[in-house]
Amino acid sequence: MKLNPIDGLLYLSMKVIKRFDKRDSSGGSFSPSGVKTILIISSTALGDTLMSTPAIKAVRVRYPEAHITACLNIRYAALFAGNPHIDAILPYYGGYRKFIRTAQALRRVKPDLALIFHGNEPQATPLAYMSGAKFIFKIPISRQYGFLLSNQSNGFDDPWQCHAIDVRLKTASFAGCGTNDREMVLNADAEDITHVKAVLAARGLNSAHPIIGLQPGAAQSYKAWPKGFYAELGSRLLRLYPGAGVVITGSGDERRLCGDIAAAIGKGAVSLAGALSVKQLAALVKVLSVLVTNDTGTMHIAIALGTKTVSLFCPSNHWGTGALTERHLHRIISAERPCSPCVTKKCKAPYCMSAITVDAVLAAVTESLKIMEISEINENSHL
């Protein structure tokens, strides 16, 4: 593997600077009373950042008067602009892009405390330290930059065997934040909802009928249910529910994938891949009757907004990233890993998701739609 010389230079710089840092930054000397300004880093993928929101709320509850700045991935930062527990957002550009500028911006925050809920290394921990924060907490312990952290224990026997939300809450607990609230925090903007409904109507989808979302893409191909399965599912759903609509969601990079699925389904299916901003995507998910989804960011948006989901897992683990709250809204379908060990990202021909059948997913979607119909009947009976 080719080594990045910047990594080595950054590591040596941090070692030297830390050696001359005379502050007692150990967790044992941490006192909540001295915390006025807080930096939170959650700078990776969309779903990872959403799973940080319960911990961010816990920080706000514990430090109601503190100024909280969040360093978030620039691609998704707009989605969190309305989060009531964040006072300011600074963008993270990924890797070493604008690294010095980011470090300077964090330095101006002058945080007393930095919490790394989820960040790519080797950048996240050095950025937290370069901000000037005296205390830095992070789980799991960085093998390379653990010497910069105030906690020297993960607090778990194995954090990789725990749900990602619980790992972030444990990180917050090192700063005195205690809570059992695991609900993600997200709101869909009313103007964006109005816009999305207009987009759907222009494409012939009537919101008076069920609108079923399909999320066929994923950050890694090994998490993706085959596109032919999505196409068959969409076709069968439209035969079962005349007047319903199918919306295929995805990023701009997934236009071809989503377009192929929409074309295979035919009338009643549209692809909005790359056509919506991240905030508009949240609005779309909010108006869906149910979302069928791989383990990806759109799934977490749906869970956070209370939209029904049918989520598909293999080889990733639903107990690590799946729905924790309002479980009655969410149906999880998982398959056993056929390979041991599973090489995940290194898999050149992933096929394990094919173990999840169209029949199983169709049954789960049908059950979700039945519950929706019962709910609507109950609401109308009270009018």
Q: How far apart are CA 5 and CA 121, in angstroms?
A: 15
Q: How confident is the model at residue 2 (pLDDT cuts 50, 70, 90)?
A: low
Q: Are residues 205 and 336 in the same domain?
A: yes
Q: Any idea how long the chain is? A: 383
- Ramachandran bin of 132, using left for φ above 0, alpha for ψ from -120 to 50, beta for the remaining angles: left
Q: Are residues 274 and 228 in the same domain?
A: yes
What distance lies between CA 108 and its chain's CA centroid? Answer: 28
Residue 205 lies in a domain: yes
Q: How confident is the model at residue 364 (pLDDT cuts 50, 70, 90)?
A: very high
Q: Quote the pLDDT of residue 105.
A: 98
Residue 16 lies in a domain: no
Sign for the CA dihedral angle at 149, 152, 156, 161 comes to: positive
Q: How far apart are CA 182 and CA 166, in angstroms?
A: 8
CB of 273 within 8 A of CB of 250? yes
Q: How far apart are CA 301 and CA 288, in angstroms?
A: 12
Question: Taking Cα atoms as reference points, which of 293, 295, 322 lies closest to residue 230?
Answer: 293
- Ramachandran bin of 162, using left for φ above 0, alpha for ψ from -120 to 50, beta for the remaining angles: beta
Element at 363 (helix H, strand E): helix 358-381
Residue 379 above 50 pLDDT?
no
Q: Are residues 108 and 27 in the same domain?
A: yes
Q: How many C-beta atoms surround the C-beta of residue 240 within 10 A? A: 13
Angle of helix 278-287 versus helix 190-202 axis, rounded to 10: 70
Q: How far apart are CA 57 and CA 111, in angstroms?
A: 18
pLDDT (tens digit per residue) in 237-271: 999 999 999 999 999 999 999 999 999 999 999 99
Q: Are residues 53 and 110 in the same domain?
A: yes
Q: Are residues 239 and 146 in the same domain?
A: no
CB of 13 within 8 A of CB of 147? no
Q: How many C-beta atoms surround the C-beta of residue 5 within 10 A? A: 8
Q: How many C-beta atoms surround the C-beta of residue 318 within 10 A? A: 17
Question: Taking Cα atoms as reference points, which of 179, 161, 160 lies closest to residue 169?
Answer: 179
Q: Are residues 208 and 138 in the same domain?
A: no
Element at 310 (helix H, strand E): strand 309-313
Residue 374 above 60 pLDDT?
no
Residue 36 above 50 pLDDT?
yes
Q: Are residues 86 and 145 in the same domain?
A: yes
- Least confident window among 15-29, 32-46, 140-154, 184-198: 140-154
Angle of helix 255-265 versus helix 227-240 axis, rounded to 10: 40
Q: Are residues 143 and 196 in the same domain?
A: no
Q: Quote the pLDDT of residue 206.
A: 82
Where residue 123 sits, what CATH number does that domain have?
Answer: 3.40.50.2000
The count of domains in the chain is: 2
DSSP string, 98-127: THHHHHHHHHHH--SEEEEEE--TTTHHHH
Sign for the CA dihedral angle at 37, 131, 140, 55 comes to: positive
Q: How confident is the model at residue 121 (pLDDT cuts 50, 70, 90)?
A: very high
Q: How many C-beta atoms surround the C-beta of residue 328 within 10 A? A: 8
Q: How far is CA 173 from CA 61, 62, 155, in A?
A: 12, 10, 10
Q: Are residues 215 and 119 in the same domain?
A: no
**Phi, psi values for residue 141, rounded to 5°:** -60, 130
Q: How many C-beta atoms surround the C-beta of residue 249 within 10 A? A: 26
Q: Are residues 148 and 200 in the same domain?
A: no
Q: How far apart are CA 256 and CA 381, in angstroms?
A: 44
Residue 146: give the domain boundaries: 21-173
Q: Quote the pLDDT of residue 248.
A: 98
Residue 168 lies in a domain: yes
Q: What number is the average pLDDT over the span 117-134?
A: 97
Q: How confident is the model at residue 51 (pLDDT cuts 50, 70, 90)?
A: very high
Q: How far apart are CA 326 and CA 285, in angstroms?
A: 16
Q: Are residues 259 and 359 in the same domain?
A: yes
Q: Quote the pLDDT of residue 187.
A: 96
